[in-house]
Chains A and B, each alone.
Chain A
Amino acid sequence: MSSNNITKEPLFSLKNRKLLSDPLGKNNPITIQVLGICSALAVTAKIKPAFVMALSVIAVLAISNVIISLLRNGIPPRIRIIVQLVVIATLVILVDQILKAYVFDVSKQLSVFVGLIITNCIIMGRLEAFAMNNKPWQAFLDGIGNAIGYGWILIVVAFFRELLGSGTIYGYKVIPEAFYDFGYKNNGLMILPPMALIVVGIIIWIQRSRNKELIEEN
């Protein structure tokens, strides 16, 4: 990338907008790069945790991308992965402590997610692939874009799993009692992790059949 342009680039140039929009579709971290699958399985049984997870990842990815991008010229390449990990872990712990002290109710909802964020490979993937070679503003946009790309898949998967598995959406009952009286049953399989993989698989299938560019040659 030629980030050393002499003429100053506008903040939302076409290139910068693509940083934000590509990860939503044709370079989606989950459906195309198949990263972050672990948390996509773990937190998508209900919409609410999926939503909270998406928000937390947006915050952590955007901030850590910017920090690594600011430090990028000083980080010795041989220990760069360790430096990235330290930045992510510090941020996550700090956020967790602050939540516990000032917004305890939110922190209770997040519970295990905060820990899960550290292990999310999308974050390290973006730090390594993008923030190490790009300026802070671009890194910020890239972080936001990828985190939203991750988040919307999470919420779509959670939507179907919660609707079919529990008969609710965001905790509200949507399937009328009358259906159950006629013998309709919630599908217990939808709540279990394997179904998340299958729903992600269906999304990947739909996406690739609509966009032929994405199909691999072999």
Chain B
Amino acid sequence: MYSNFYIFKYSAIMVIIVAALLSTAAMLLKPAQDRNLEIEKMKSILTSANIEVTTENAIELYKKHITKEIVLNPEGKQIDLYENGKFIDGDKRAFDINLKKQLYRKKNNESFQLPLFVCKKGSETIFIIPLLGKGLWGPVWGNIALKNDFNLVEGVTFGHKAETPGLGAEIDTKDFQKQFIGKKIFNNSGEFTSIKIVKGGIDLLPQDLKIHGVDAISGGTITSNAVADMLNNNLSSYVPYFKKHK
């Protein structure tokens, strides 16, 4: 009862309407979405340093607390410095660095850039390092804040694109993240250990390793491993800088 011509016409019109609708929506909403992502990034950076922040005051608090944005080269040398809203050195903000691109360059043994944020909290100086890795279903990311000995963890935040709800997705909960506070990324002899995520709980570890480990998420082993890999992979690039400034 419907001719082939009708079917072609119907589908062509349908596709054009839908395409127009979706691309208009995407274009109109893009600025608002980008703004949200930027605020989210600021929130995540501040939260890792245990600063209470809401969507409303994120921009203001970021300006107040993050006094320096530093870009490092793989040897741990500072190449750009953005301090209190002005460029002191170079012309690149750590905030604008695309971590994915830099990790890709690192994998291919090309030269890459490392972002580092310096946060003033009262009289304390805290160093914040952004993280990016591969989870089970999509990317995982986060920030880790270190005290100025570059060893003791002040706090962490993690986020994820599509980890399994109730299992791997638990990495973005406070309960998981607060385990990292007070852990150390270097051992007593000064070797970089990163932080291990231990299936079955850190009670299984010998006493001297407990300070470098946290409990994994039951049912979320692959995501837990992904977070551990992410920490190791991202933090290890900063070791030359840490050693120089300790």
Contacts and interface: CB of A to CB of B under 8 A. Distances in A.
A98 interface: yes
Interface stretch (A16-24, A41-49, A130-138): A41-49
A191 B113 CA distance: 41
B216 to A, nearest CB: 12
Contact of A191 (B7, B14, B159, B219): B219
A93 B18 CA distance: 11
Contact of A102 (B14, B32, B165, B219): B32
Contacts of B162: 111-112, 115
Contacts of A93: 22
Contacts of A105: 55
Given A42-B164, A192-B219, A90 B36 contact: no
A6 interface: no
B165 A46 contact: yes
Given A49-B165, A76-B6, A113-B165, A188 B218 contact: yes
Contacts of A104: 36, 39-40, 55
Contacts of A49: 165-166, 169
Interface residues of B, number: 32
Interface in A23-78: 42-46, 49, 74-78
Contacts of B164: 42, 45, 112
A54 to B, nearest CB: 13
A81 interface: no
The A contact surface, by secondary structure, is helix
Interface of B is mostly: helix
Contacts of A76: 2, 6-7, 10
Contacts of B218: 188, 191
Contacts of A97: 25-26, 29, 33
A111 B170 CA distance: 13
A190 B40 CA distance: 33
The 10 closest A-B pairs by CB, nearest first: A45-B166, A101-B32, A101-B29, A49-B165, A76-B2, A104-B36, A46-B166, A112-B162, A191-B219, A76-B7
Interface of A: 42-46, 49, 74-79, 82-83, 86, 90, 93-94, 97-98, 100-102, 104-105, 108, 111-113, 115, 161-162, 188, 191-192
29 contacts: A42-B165, A45-B164, A45-B166, A74-B10, A76-B6, A78-B2, A79-B7, A79-B11, A83-B10, A83-B14, A86-B18, A90-B21, A90-B22, A94-B21, A94-B22, A97-B29, A98-B29, A101-B33, A104-B40, A104-B55, A105-B55, A111-B160, A112-B137, A112-B162, A112-B165, A113-B165, A188-B218, A188-B219, A191-B219
